[in-house]
Structure 1
């Protein structure tokens, strides 16, 4: 057994000395920012990560610090040059020195940054997922759902051991307004590689009985941004965007932002804030209902009184109006009877005239018939007097040549044969001269 063992502090001091001796230079390092915090002194504490590009699993992680005298110049310079805020999700190229502290362990001290390095894989992946959802037309589907007025039946997706879940339930149960909320936990893994599949399974269980719930709440306590990578996947985002119930997210702290926060109906900072949102939503509904009740309590009696007074005025006016109506109807009946009497007299005169006209027409027809009969007799006499037979009976004859009457002797030639018709018979002749 070693007679003079080292204390932990002494061991860490040796490590610190070794690190300084073996790595005295500054190094340019590519890494992704997964957490960025600034304290009251202006020092910026960051967390650097490196991930497997295929599985998105963490390969390396290191704490970093940017002292205030460097950060006050580095941050505005970086944001001015890149147009990006210095936040988690950026992939950066930083100049660091390696340090080891007896109490705080291994860390990297940042002295410079290259602003030409662009957005990190985290931010680019989120941007690509959101662009794909927008192209598919599902990005805002969940946001377009209407949050029920009485959102009291809440399906919660969280880890059963998460402090955030306990804070959420405690906030709902102890709300100052005495509202009743009915919650049910659908357990899911909220950190690590199984986040996506676990939350999707929980959503499927809720969807199987979605008629029992008004809203879905996905909550998780705070932590480093690198622990939230499971919430930045396409499959989880598309499931949330197309879910038939409004989804509230309370994941991490205010500085954390995930893809499902972007597609959810409402995004709040923390689990406690999610509870406050639901309480305030129900409070606004209660205030509207109380306003309606107050309105009915005050306005309905006044309205009934006004309607009663209006009805009484109408009732008081009924006798006079009835009398006036009867009088008007009497006048109307008189006018109608006069019009009917006059119409019947006019009709009688027209019918009488028509009957007289028939008699006159009969007399006129009879007179016309007599005249026409006389005219026919005259015509008959004229026809008879113009008949050739009558002329032949008086001694006249008709000479015909080729069936035509001869009226001009010069038209005949010697040798022509003619037929002469007399009253009784005919005879033929030949012209000699």
Structure 2
């Protein structure tokens, strides 16, 4: 026969006493947090263990850390690790078993060892760095060159972060009076959305790449916890392959993050990032100022050298001029002598030619006159032979019509009046007919 049944409360009392007797102490347990949430000052955690091969959960438990313990544990953990307790983190917890008749069983967290989590974080960070080295991208940013005139800066930060304001104030109030152009690309800088948000901001900058000289990723003005978002492979790959120098100032003092490792330059704070950019421009300004001073000195030195040469030449000019003048004077005298001799020789030859011509002129004139006289006599004879009167003397006559000599009978008409001239006299006739 069955005994008297137990009430549920009696059964739970029995379980509670059994646990208190069989598991009176605390235990250190390794687990991964699938969830961690704070409520009313307490922290409620879901613990899981995954199979190392398949990564599927093989154990699950709930855990609680009461307010009286959680305040100290949280502060110590964040101070050591630089991160908040969050899902996906591996932790080493000190727990003890607790069974409550009304709320059931749970593990109560007495402590969390931050060094265990640091070791796991370092392991993951080293795995990412090894992967980046394998891909050959870990030092790509170090090969870039920051423009010596870098003034157009793309900033990835939370628009509400005090660090962004500090960065802008540091740039605008620099001692040199340099002017910087800052464009903010807002991003989530804490929590699970860090990686996705920063990558989106980098893509937006890349779309307008020519407008910027460098990228600055800054985070500041708040707690230094929850920096795990900067230790991801995807974010590191994006930064490592980015074509502009990326400067990080995400405000923490612990070992450098993966993002810091792959960046062009890592600084601790946003103001340090601003100081780095100011110093870069100041070095350029100093270099140019030194070049200017050097150029002025070189020009002044050259001017002094040329002035000295001019003074030396100026001293030599009178002596050189006198030498040249004497040399040219002698040359002119020689030329004048040669010219005088040439003129005298020319005059002598011309005078001789004139004398020869003078002696030949009478004879030439006489010969010319004789030739001209003979030509005139011949022309006179020819004119005389052509004189019509000589023809008339020989018995010829000249018939004329209207004052013109008639050479062709065909030109005459019946009744024409003709005049015929003879050696002695003339006769008038009328054409009666013609053959």
TM-score (norm 1): 0.50
Largest Rg, 1 or 2: 2
